[in-house]
Chains A and B, each alone.
Chain A
């Protein structure tokens, strides 16, 4: 394993650790909020908001991981009628189109972040600036683009097929 591969592997593990941590935090907050309600007749007004935003962060980081693992849901019947070569070409095209979408989403997501920075909207319960929540959108897009570029390079260099949609699950899952 060379340094590049080691670095990649560490990066992948870190990405997964973040979403695992987020879902654990969300569950813990949810659980303790219920305990607080029964035990102490009180409620953290920010609990719901924190859970929703954790879920949104999970979604956009998870979006990138789903690209890496090739598990995004699609209607892939056409792949059953194509030759291996054609499948590979189509997969490459789909990667390029996905990158195009992610550029749009990331770019206008970043614009939304900057817009919110200027207009100063805060979240009602946590009272943090909302751009901290929006920021995950461009971040998720960058991560996704990184994975798609890596996959496309692999696709061009190697003979083997990489799965596109929901055919196999990744190594650690």
Chain B
């Protein structure tokens, strides 16, 4: 049945059927023809894919980002960021990476990060003569960091599946790993931008910087509200998203006066449609993940790999490869639920630190968010950039190479991610 399923999915994707239709239709046909499975269960799985606390933040972050954009907040933030770092080589690209990291620190949702940052930064990157593929690759990969940097729903799910690690330990290790990913990427952006000799801004005078800061003041409070709210333990990411949407609305209607009620209505429609665009994908990914779990094939592969490997270094390398391949086709949480219970016992037999292994898993799955053919960040970036996947691939490849370098550092220098953890001990 899985063979038919995979052939059908590839065929449907090839003739350019929407991705969620490809996954859904292939699943229904395979199940109806070749299995006794009750087809209602497929509908239940799609529903289950959506009925998650974890996903609730998504529409609100989309709404907040759209209001910030429509209400002139994004614009003012951007001018401020440009005054601050625009004169550096790759300043705008660095701003994208750094703000994705900040956003990742307040969102457990990788696609929401891409939407929130991308809506603002993508047009700006392209206007500043960055190659659109580079810009799209940057966005899709930078967004994946929100899986690694806490709070991260994926980390919590992992801790709930593998009881030998605690959520707190994984969160602390996530900060270290997220920083490695960020720093390696920023170095790459600097080198790339220098080489490409991309146009830079004149360094802003102190007066200009202050003016930009005053204009952006109300907008600058948003990250403070969100970050402060979450880390002070006041809001969940979902609530922070909702509050930032309401706050942005108030500022754009009453302070900046750039938002009419008609415009607000259009923003709501657009945000709801964009949410649906992403959420149907999440729902259909759930069916696929479930059919794979039931087939037992991923378990067999993982079992074989762990059985025939003796050395820790080789084991970690193989895990990285297996997870990278898996991440090409699957969504992170589904992959964790299938793989984690199988590799963790094997890893403890080999003496691998479970927190280290856990954070490596997350880093791999974060990369999987933007590796073709199936990566939600790619699809979300498509909706922003209007590039198709083939056009995006050159850019995706660059950042894949960069993040794999970061992954190797974390794999072979465990302290790079775990130092904070050991600091607290």
Taking Cβ atoms with an 8 Å cutoff, the residues of A that contact B are 16, 19-20, 22-24, 26-27, 30-31, 33-34, 48, 51-52, 55-56, 58-63, 65-66, 69, 71-80, 90, 93-94, 97-98, 100-101, 104-105, 108-109, 111-112, 115, 133-134, 137, 164-167, 172-173
> Given contacts A27-B242, A59-B279, A112-B43, is CB(A75)–CB(B273) below 8 Å?
no
Q: Which residues of A contact B39 (CB under 8 A)?
A: 104, 108, 111
Q: Is the CB of A74 within 8 A of B59?
A: no
Q: Which of B48-56, B73-81, B142-150, B341-349 is the contact stretch?
A: B48-56
Q: Which residues of A contact B281 (CB under 8 A)?
A: 73
> Given contacts A62-B276, A94-B17, A97-B17, is CB(A34)–CB(B243) below 8 Å?
yes
Q: Is the CB of B280 within 8 A of A66?
A: yes
From A55, A100, A167, B59 is in contact (CB under 8 Å) with A55
Check if B272 is an interface residue, CB within 8 A of chain A.
Answer: yes
Since A59-B276, A164-B16 are in contact, a sample of 14 more A-B pairs with Cβ atoms closer than 8 Å, ordered by chain A residue number, is: A20-B272, A34-B243, A52-B51, A62-B276, A63-B280, A74-B17, A77-B16, A94-B16, A94-B17, A94-B21, A97-B21, A104-B32, A105-B28, A166-B382
Q: Which residues of B contact A48 (CB under 8 A)?
A: 53, 56
From B46, B56, B268, A20 is in contact (CB under 8 Å) with B268
User: How far is B58's CA from A70's CA once the two chains are assembled, in angstroms?
Assistant: 22
Q: Is the CB of B389 within 8 A of A65?
A: no
Closest to A87 in B: B16
Closest to B229 in A: A34
Report the 5 A-B pairs with minimum CB-CB distance, sorted nearest first.
A62-B276, A72-B18, A30-B242, A19-B272, A101-B25
Q: Is the CB of A105 within 8 A of B24?
A: yes
Q: Which residues of B contact A58 (CB under 8 A)?
A: 59, 272, 275-276, 279
Instruction: Tell me, rounded to whole Å, the shortest Cβ–Cβ distance linking A71 to chain B.
Output: 6
Selected A-B contacts with CB under 8 Å, 19 pairs: A19-B268, A23-B63, A23-B271, A27-B246, A51-B56, A58-B59, A62-B277, A65-B276, A69-B273, A74-B13, A77-B389, A78-B15, A80-B388, A94-B17, A97-B21, A101-B28, A104-B25, A105-B28, A166-B382
Q: Is the CB of B44 within 8 A of A165?
A: no
User: How far is B68's CA from A114's CA once the two chains are assembled, in angstroms?
Assistant: 43
A interface footprint on B350-384 (CB within 8 Å = 1, 0 otherwise): 00000000000000000000000100000100110
User: How far is B276's CA from A128's CA once the two chains are assembled, in angstroms?
Assistant: 24
A interface footprint on B25-49 (CB within 8 Å = 1, 0 otherwise): 1001000100000011011101100
User: How far is B242's CA from A76's CA once the two chains are assembled, in angstroms?
Assistant: 34
Q: Which residues of A contact B44 (CB under 8 A)?
A: 112
Secondary structure type dominating chain A contacts: helix
From A33, A62, A112, B40 is in contact (CB under 8 Å) with A112
> Given contacts A55-B56, A71-B383, is CB(A62)–CB(B18) below 8 Å?
no
From A19, A30, A69, A97, B12 is in contact (CB under 8 Å) with A97
From B19, B47, B63, B270, A27 is in contact (CB under 8 Å) with B63
Q: Which residues of A contact B383 (CB under 8 A)?
A: 71, 73, 166
User: How far is B22's CA from A86's CA once the two chains are assembled, in angstroms?
Assistant: 20
Q: Is the CB of B279 within 8 A of A55?
A: yes
> Given contacts A58-B272, A164-B16, is CB(A34)–CB(B242) below 8 Å?
yes
From B12, B19, B52, B272, A23 is in contact (CB under 8 Å) with B272
Q: Which residues of B contact A75 (CB under 8 A)?
A: 13-14, 16, 19, 373, 388-389
Q: Which residues of B contact A93 (CB under 8 A)?
A: 15
Instruction: Tell me, rounded to whole Å, the shortest Cβ–Cβ distance linking A168 to chain B.
Output: 8
Check if B339 is an interface residue, CB within 8 A of chain A.
Answer: no
User: How far is B52's CA from A30's CA once the two chains are assembled, in angstroms?
Assistant: 15
> Given contacts A34-B235, A71-B277, is CB(A104)–CB(B28) below 8 Å?
yes
Check if B20 is an interface residue, CB within 8 A of chain A.
Answer: yes
Instruction: Tell me, rounded to whole Å, the shortest Cβ–Cβ distance linking B391 to chain A.
Output: 9
Instruction: Tell me, rounded to whole Å, the shortest Cβ–Cβ distance linking A121 to chain B.
Output: 11
Closest to B236 in A: A34
Instruction: Tell me, rounded to whole Å, the shortest Cβ–Cβ distance linking A158 to chain B.
Output: 20
Q: Is the CB of B390 within 8 A of A77?
A: yes
User: How far is B388's CA from A31's CA once the two chains are assembled, in angstroms?
Assistant: 37
Instruction: Tell me, rounded to whole Å, the shortest Cβ–Cβ distance linking A55 to chain B.
Output: 6
Q: Which residues of B contact A77 (CB under 8 A)?
A: 16, 388-390
